[in-house]
Amino acid sequence: MEQNKAKKHEGDPGKAVMKLDRDFQIGEIDKRIYGSFIEHIGRAVYGGIYDPGHPLADDCGFRRDVIELTRELQVPIVRYPGGNFVSGYNWEDGIGPKDKRPKRTELAWFAVENNQMGTDEFCEWSRRAGTDVMMAVNLGTRGADAARNLVEYCNFSSGTYWSDLRIQNGYKEPHNVRLWNLGNEMDGPWQIGHKTAQEYGRLASETAKVMKWVDPTIELVACGSSNSGMDTCYDWETTVLDHAYDFVDYISMHQYYGNQEDDTPNFLANTMDMDHFIENIIATCDYIQAKKRSKKKINISFDEWNVWYHAFPENEKAVKWQEGPSFNEDIYNFEDALLVGGMLISLLRHANRVKVACQAQLVNVIAPIMTENGGRIWKQTIYYPYLHASVYGRGTALDVLVDSPKYDSKDFTDVPILDAVAVESEEKDYLTIFALNKGMQDLVTDCDLRDYPGCHVEEMLVYTSPDLKLSNSADCPDRVVPHTSSDYKLEDGRLTVKLAAYSWNVIRIRL
**Where are the extended beta strands (E) located within 95-198?**
104-106, 111-113, 132-137, 179-182
Between CA 303 and CA 227 the distance in angstroms is 12
pLDDT value at position 5?
Answer: 65
Q: Does residue 367 sit in the same domain as residue 420?
A: no
Q: Look at residues 373, 392, 411 and tell me which one is the last residue of a structural domain.
A: 392
pLDDT at residue 379 tops 80:
yes
pLDDT at residue 136 tops 50:
yes
Q: How confident is the model at residue 2 (pLDDT cuts 50, 70, 90)?
A: very low
- Listed in sequence order, the residues at least 6 apart from 340 whose beta carbon sits closer than 8 Å to its beta carbon are 306, 307, 359, 382, 385, 386
Q: What is the mean pLDDT of the chain?
A: 96
Q: Domain with 309 in it: what CATH number?
A: 3.20.20.80
Mean pLDDT (whole number) for 397-401? 97
Residue pair 115/94 in contact by the 8 Å Cβ criterion: yes
pLDDT at residue 15 tops 50:
yes
Q: What is the residue range of 454's domain? A: 2-24+399-510
pLDDT value at position 9?
Answer: 57
Helices (H), 74-140: 119-129
Between CA 356 and CA 252 the distance in angstroms is 9
pLDDT value at position 13?
Answer: 74
Q: Look at residues 350, 367, 392 and tell me which one is the last residue of a structural domain.
A: 392
Q: Does residue 347 sit in the same domain as residue 248?
A: yes
Assign residue 107 a region (left: φ > 0; alpha: ψ between -120 and 50; beta: otherwise): alpha
Q: Does residue 486 sit in the same domain as residue 341?
A: no
Q: Does residue 244 sit in the same domain as residue 317?
A: yes
Residue pair 239/258 in contact by the 8 Å Cβ criterion: no
Mean pLDDT (whole number) for 287-293? 98
Per-residue pLDDT reduced to its tens digit, 317-373: 889 999 999 999 999 999 999 999 999 999 999 999 999 999 999 999 999 999 999
- Listed in sequence order, the residues at least 6 apart from 152 whose beta carbon sits closer than 8 Å to its beta carbon are 160, 161, 162, 163, 214
pLDDT value at position 3?
Answer: 45
Q: Does residue 151 sit in the same domain as residue 169?
A: yes
Q: Does residue 485 sit in the same domain as residue 420?
A: yes
DSSP code at position 482: -
Q: Does residue 14 sit in the same domain as residue 74?
A: no
Between CA 431 and CA 416 the distance in angstroms is 23
Residue pair 306/340 in contact by the 8 Å Cβ criterion: yes
Q: Look at residues 392, 408, 431 and tell me which one is the last residue of a structural domain.
A: 392
Domains held by the chain: number: 2
Q: Does residue 48 sit in the same domain as residue 192?
A: yes
Q: Does residue 242 sit in the same domain as residue 293?
A: yes
Q: Domain with 414 in it: what CATH number?
A: 2.60.40.1180
pLDDT value at position 11?
Answer: 53
Q: Does residue 20 sit in the same domain as residue 34?
A: no
Per-residue pLDDT reduced to its tens digit, 61-120: 999 999 999 999 999 999 999 999 999 999 999 999 999 999 999 999 999 999 999 999
Between CA 69 and CA 75 the distance in angstroms is 9
Q: Does residue 88 sit in the same domain as residue 198?
A: yes
Q: How confident is the model at residue 4 (pLDDT cuts 50, 70, 90)?
A: very low
- Listed in sequence order, the residues at least 6 apart from 315 whose beta carbon sits closer than 8 Å to its beta carbon are 327, 328
pLDDT value at position 271?
Answer: 98
Half-sphere exposure of residue 259: CA atoms within 13 angstroms, side-chain side: 24
- With b for 16 or more beta-carbon neighbours within 10 A and e for fewer, the 281-304 pattern comes to bbebbeebbeeeeeeeebbbbbbb
Q: What angle do CA 306, 307, 308 make, to 5 degrees?
A: 110
Catalytic residue among 121, 185, 335, 424: 185
Residue pair 370/332 in contact by the 8 Å Cβ criterion: no
Catalytic residue among 39, 152, 304, 329: 304
Per-residue pLDDT reduced to its tens digit, 447-487: 999 999 999 999 999 999 999 999 999 999 999 999 999 99
Report the run of H or E that residue 198 belongs to, with start and end: helix 197-214
Between CA 113 and CA 146 the distance in angstroms is 19
Per-residue pLDDT reduced to its tens digit, 166-203: 999 999 999 999 999 999 999 999 999 999 999 999 99
Residue pair 394/76 in contact by the 8 Å Cβ criterion: no
Between CA 72 and CA 83 the distance in angstroms is 25
Q: How confident is the model at residue 8 (pLDDT cuts 50, 70, 90)?
A: low
Per-residue pLDDT reduced to its tens digit, 266-284: 999 999 999 999 999 999 9
**Catalytic residue at 185?**
yes
Count of positions (residues) in the chain: 511
- With b for 16 or more beta-carbon neighbours within 10 A and e for fewer, the 156-174 pattern comes to beeeeebbebbeeeebeeb
Mean pLDDT (whole number) for 39-44? 98
Helices (H), 350-453: 383-392
Q: Does residue 164 sit in the same domain as residue 45?
A: yes
pLDDT at residue 239 tops 50:
yes
Among 506, 271, 505, CA closest to 392: 506
- This prediction has a pTM of 0.96
pLDDT value at position 1?
Answer: 41
DSSP 289-336: HHHHT-S---EEEEEEEEE--TTHHHHTTPPSS-SS---S----BHHH
Give 342: exposed, middle or buried? Use CB within 10 Å, 0-12, 13-18, 19+: buried
pLDDT value at position 473?
Answer: 98
